[in-house]
Amino acid sequence: MTLTLISSIDSRGPARVAGAPVLRVHEPARGAETLNRFAYSLPTPLRMALTQRLAMARRAHWTERLWRADATLWTGADEGNWLGWLTSLRRPQRLTRELAARCAALCGQGATDAVLLGMGGASLGAEVLVDIVGKAAKGMRVHVLDTTDSAQIRAVAQRIDLRCTLFIVASKSGTTIESRMLADYFHERLCAELGEAEAGKRFIAITDPGTPLETHARERGYAAVFQGEPTVGGRNSVLTPFGLVTLGLLGHDPAEFLKAARPMLRACALRDPESNPGLFLGALVGEAALCGRDKATILATPGLAPFGAWLEQLLAESTGKYGRGVIPVDREPAGEREDYGEDRLFIALIEPGEAGLAVRSRAIRLAEAGHPVVLFELADPARLGQEFLRWEVATAIAGAILGVNPFDQPDVEAAKQRARALTEAWRTDGALPVAEPMLREGQLRFYGMPTGAGSAAELLAHHFVALRGRGYGAVLAYIARSRANEARLEQLRRLLRDASGCATVGGFGPRYLHSSGQLHKGGPAGGVFLLITADTKPEVIEGQGLDFGVIQAAQAQGDFEELRARGRPCVRVHIEGDLHSGLAQLAHALHEGLSQSWHRAAEAHA
Distance CA 41, CA 25 (A): 9
Average pLDDT, the chain: 92
Distances (CA, A) of 255 to 18, 97, 235, 244: 45, 6, 21, 9
Distance CA 268, CA 67 (A): 10
- Domain residue ranges in the chain: 33-61+271-402, 86-259, 412-604
Q: Pinpoint the alpha helices (H) of 369-451.
A: 384-402, 413-429
Our CA angle for 278, 279, 284, nearest 5°, is 100
Run of H or E residues at 284: helix 277-290
- pLDDT in the model for residue 63: 98
- pLDDT in the model for residue 600: 65
Distance of CA 553 to the CA centre of its chain: 22
- pLDDT in the model for residue 336: 87
First-last CA distance in the chain: 45
Report helix, strand or coil for 345: strand
In the CATH scheme, what architecture does the domain 412-604 have?
Answer: 3-Layer(aba) Sandwich (3.40)
Report helix, strand or coil for 163: helix
The CATH superfamily holding the domain 86-259 is: Glucose-6-phosphate isomerase like protein; domain 1 (3.40.50.10490)
Per-residue pLDDT band at 89 (split at 50, 70, 90)? confident
Say how many CA atoms lie within 13 Å of 17 toward its Cβ.
15
Per-residue pLDDT band at 94 (split at 50, 70, 90)? confident
What is the sign, positive or negative, of the torsion defined by CA atoms of 351, 25, 320, 416? positive
Laid out side by side, the sheet with 439-441 consists of: 439-441, 444-447, 570-575, 527-534, 472-477, 503-508
Q: What share of the chain is helix, strand, coil (3-state, %, to 5)?
A: 50, 15, 35
Work out the number of other CB atoms within 10 angstroms of the CB of residue 144: 22
Report helix, strand or coil for 560: helix
- Exposure letters 68-78 (e unless 16+ CB within 10 A, then b): ebbbebbbeee
Has residue 86 got a pLDDT over 90? yes
Residues contacting residue 316 through CB under 8 Å, at least 6 positions apart: 325, 326, 327, 328, 515, 516, 518, 519, 523
The CATH superfamily holding the domain 33-61+271-402 is: Glucose-6-phosphate isomerase like protein; domain 1 (3.40.50.10490)
> pLDDT (tens digit, 9 = 90+) per residue, 484-521?
999 999 999 999 999 999 999 999 999 999 999 999 99
> pLDDT (tens digit, 9 = 90+) per residue, 206-216?
999 999 999 99
Per-residue pLDDT band at 302 (split at 50, 70, 90)? very high
Residue whose C-alpha is closest to residue 213's, from 179, 247, 248, 167: 179
**Amino acid of residue 564:** R
- Sequence-ordered strand ranges (E) for 59-207: 113-117, 141-145, 165-170, 203-207
Distance of CA 325 to the CA centre of its chain: 15
Distance CA 103, CA 543 (A): 30
Residue whose C-alpha is closest to residue 67's, from 86, 91, 89: 86
Q: Beta strand pairing status for 38-41 and 373-377?
A: antiparallel
- pLDDT in the model for residue 25: 84
List phi, psi (to 5°) of 455.
Answer: -150, 165
